[in-house]
Amino acid sequence: MPPGRRLVQKVSSTRAFARAAPHFIPALDRAVHRLTRGKVLLSARMLPGLILTATGARSGQPRRTPLACLPQEDGGWLLVGSNFGRPGHPAWTANLLRNPEAEVSWRGEDIPVRARLLTGEERARAWRAALDFWPPYAAYQARVEREIRLFRLERR
């Protein structure tokens, strides 16, 4: 476990973090990612991360979102729509539901992907893996009435 990870987990479980983080973490990640030509995400120092480019559900325009991810053994990724434990689903999840064909920037490489919303037992297994990977997801789910969406991204 990287130094400081337990402290980051504790802080990221708080309501104050949920209020503040969405305003600075994605913007900082996008800026650093752009400056390093896709090679660095600051948040990936604690959790693996990627940049998702999905088509906006309403606008039809490309939307770039830095996200934590759980890399899978087969080369795909699991994405957790936690929205930092805030009430609404994050916009990127609606984008993937409407337009599942997307692209990720992963370690400096642009990769076309197809997203699939997980349900049933497959979702339950993925949720257990997400909690093992990042325990604060349990605090996020406890704060909201909605079921946090989980997506599987597969390479096209």
pLDDT digits (tens, 9 = 90+) for 54-94: 999 999 999 999 899 999 999 999 999 999 899 999 999 99
Q: Is the pLDDT reported for residue 45 higher than 70? A: no
Residue 40 pLDDT grade (very low, low, confident, very high; cuts 50, 70, 90): low
Kindly report which listed range (25-34, 60-69, 99-108, 113-122) carries the lowest average pLDDT score.
Answer: 25-34
Which pLDDT score, from 0 to 100, does residue 34 have? 73
Q: Is the pLDDT reported for residue 1 higher than 70? A: no
CB atoms closer than 10 angstroms to residue 119: 11
Block residue for tokens 């609606």? 94
The rounded percent of the chain whose pLDDT value lies above 70 is: 87
Cα(119)–Cα(62) distance, integer angstroms: 26
Which pLDDT score, from 0 to 100, does residue 10 have? 75
Which pLDDT score, from 0 to 100, does residue 47 have? 77
Which pLDDT score, from 0 to 100, does residue 12 have? 74
Taking alpha carbons only, the member of 90, 83, 73 closest to residue 152 is 73
**Mean of the per-residue pLDDT values of the chain:** 88
Which pLDDT score, from 0 to 100, does residue 103 have? 98
Taking the whole predicted model, whether its pTM rises above 0.85 is answered as: no
